[in-house]
Amino acid sequence: MANKYGKNGEAVAAFLEEVSATDLDGWRTFLEHDSRSDEFSAALRAAYAAPLSASARAAVSGASIKTVRGLGLADIGQRMGPSIVANRVEVAAMGLAVRDALTPEQLRVIVEPFVAVGFRSVADPAPAPTEQ
């Protein structure tokens, strides 16, 4: 059975489930760990350039946006906080969807702030042997 998020859809779904379950305090801690770098920018470009069907790409993006909207981030206490979280969630979901097209380092850079705050769904984001 095909997954609407592509062949790595189970990883995307597990990540978005964990995003949904994270409370405001978790997102405040996340924002403390988030940082931009040239490495992140390069990894982001690689994730969005990787092959993925248009329907899967739209599903990942749409689900990411919908999930973040349900978090109630208006009360996070940081003016740009909701935008930063939304961007990072979508990039991470897309990175997971195309993870077998990324280097381990690119994937690590994308999911690193989530790992830092205890997300288990991305703790070992390397492709499973059957996906390589």
Number of H helices, E strands in the chain: 6, 0
**Residue percentage of the chain with pLDDT more than 70:** 92
Does the pLDDT at position 89 exceed 90? yes
Task: Share the mean pLDDT of the chain.
Answer: 90
- Domain ranges for the chain, please list them: 9-121
Q: What is the pLDDT of residues 64-84, one digit of tens each?
A: 999 999 998 988 877 889 999
Provide the whole-model pTM: 0.89
Q: Which of 2-11, 77-86, 98-107 has the highest mean pLDDT?
A: 98-107
Which residues does 63 contact at the CB level (< 8 Å), separation at least 6?
5, 12, 16, 93
Helix, strand, or coil (residue 98): coil
Range picked from 37-41, 75-79, 121-125 for highest mean pLDDT: 37-41
Q: pLDDT value at position 62? A: 97
CA separation for the pair 86, 24 (Å, rounded)? 13
Is residue 132 over pLDDT 90? no
- What would the pLDDT profile of 10-35 be if each residue is shown by its tens digit? 999 999 999 999 999 999 999 988 77
Residue with tokens 């997102």: 27
Q: How many Å is the maximal CA-CA distance in the chain?
A: 43
